[in-house]
Structure 1
């Protein structure tokens, strides 16, 4: 029992780390696409390469553990897109100066990272990781609030208010980001909020389905126990009747 709890704790921690890394990588790609940073320069290049290496190791481990390799590859195509080092490949092929190829590579990477997040979300959903989802969103809100407070020149409380309003898809409109960075953060929060609502609905559905299955399982166990008790009672009854019959024969 303790080993299961430890394993579950390790898996949850691992998923949190992978999710945060995926969000960081998505942020880097988005900021690079809008021209705020250059992902091919330090320190962003080092960060991006490190995250890509971790994702590649994650993919290799899950591929080696998969019982059906072909099905795994077919269902994890987007994960594969997320670990392709486009900058290095294009630099080697001397395509890095062609804007069309560079933009296509970044968009492919973004799609791949989104797919990776989807697979992580599915794993969370299967384990009903509501608290995991809540913790990840709290991290996103805090980071987004810090960025907004910095680039939009708001105090941190107002930035948190704006982040919560945005991630819940309410959007009061009292605070509107004006800088490119602020708008990029808003887009990330919007997508995060939409994904969270979908996962929350699925998690609640899983709770009811799981409780229904547990009730059915308990009823089946009770029926089985009753059947076993009935068999035992029948055996006792037969034994009593046999003893009574022998006693009657003895009396005769």
Structure 2
């Protein structure tokens, strides 16, 4: 396969992923808007889940550095969790990476401070790690709660979210001893990681909002003094070089 053919295949593949991602989000809206039993929407959701799961594990197997891949594709992993249809919305993170890979913001003249701030917020602050761990704790707790308390995955996920965020509506509560242990672990994990996640978001926007501190007159005076000292030393070195040249 030539380079041109490979590029065409890659563009076609990315266009297909984009179409399937938008279809996933649209299908989520249809599922959440249904008040009665769902049929075709559920089948479409399951089919898309299988496609994105296969795509994820194939890319993971072909990745040169799997550790970096797991970090960069954290939202892709969240998008194939078969817990609730709303998790398909995490697949939108794939579109953001495709936009950056093809430099669409740069082509449209939108590249600059916004994209740098986005990258700094997602990766440099550790947001992606904390968010992934928080979601993993909530999903695992919801799954275990569903098995132990014999609740649906949707109700268990709702219970896990309200418990981890310390809202606690009380409509879903554990009744077994194991369920209470799961709830206790989730409470401590929710307070820890979700608290760190919230503080990370707050610190980022607080830092962004702070104006740059202007240089003080004392700092400028000290800098000028150092420049004068350095200039004097350079002049002395030049004079010594001239004397050496004359002696030769």
With normalisation by structure 2, the TM-score equals 0.35
With normalisation by structure 1, the TM-score equals 0.34
Which protein has greater RCO, CA pairs closer than 8 Å, 6+ apart?
1
